[in-house]
Amino acid sequence: EWERVGRLRLRLMDRQAAIEALERARALGPSVAGLLDLALAFHLAGELGGEITATEQATQLEPGSAPAWSRYAHALARSDRLSDAVAATERAAELAPGDLEVRALLVRLREAAPRALPAV
């Protein structure tokens, strides 16, 4: 199973081999766990775009997965997609109301959001 190969490569810190194995697993039939492992491999390799894509696909595969939404929100928070990050973080907070890390991220993102100026 390619997911297991990918996880082994991650443990060995062979990021590129992990990405290749986990991409094969995704092509054969994605799972949330496999996609989140792929996102981690992309994160460790400094590939934010790949991380965002993998976590977004995980949320589409299992819309009720709090870990998938949390990882997607954290990835988006490191991008320039602030409104998407806020929306994903709100969804993660709905799914896991006791997750303090997600709550803290939501506060930080809302503080960073540009404020609309009142019409004059």
Residue 118 lies in a domain: no
Q: What is the pLDDT of residue 113?
A: 76
Write the CATH number for 88: 1.25.40.10
47 belongs to a structural domain: yes
69 closest CA partner among 55, 81, 83: 55
Query: Which position has the token pair 């602030």?
Result: 82
User: What pLDDT score does 118 carry?
Assistant: 60
pTM: 0.88
Q: Encode 60-87: b = buried (16+ Cβ within 10 Å), e = exposed.
A: eeeeebbbbbbbbbbbbbeeeeeebbbb
Query: Does any domain span residue 117?
Result: no
Residue 89 is assigned to a structural domain of this protein: yes
In the chain, the number of structural domains is 1
**Domain membership flag for residue 23:** yes
pLDDT at residue number 22 = 97
User: What pLDDT score was predicted for residue 112?
Assistant: 87
The pLDDT assigned to 16 comes to: 95
- Report the chain (120 residues): mean pLDDT per 10 consecutive residues: 94 95 96 97 97 98 98 97 96 97 96 68
Domain boundaries, position 33: 2-112
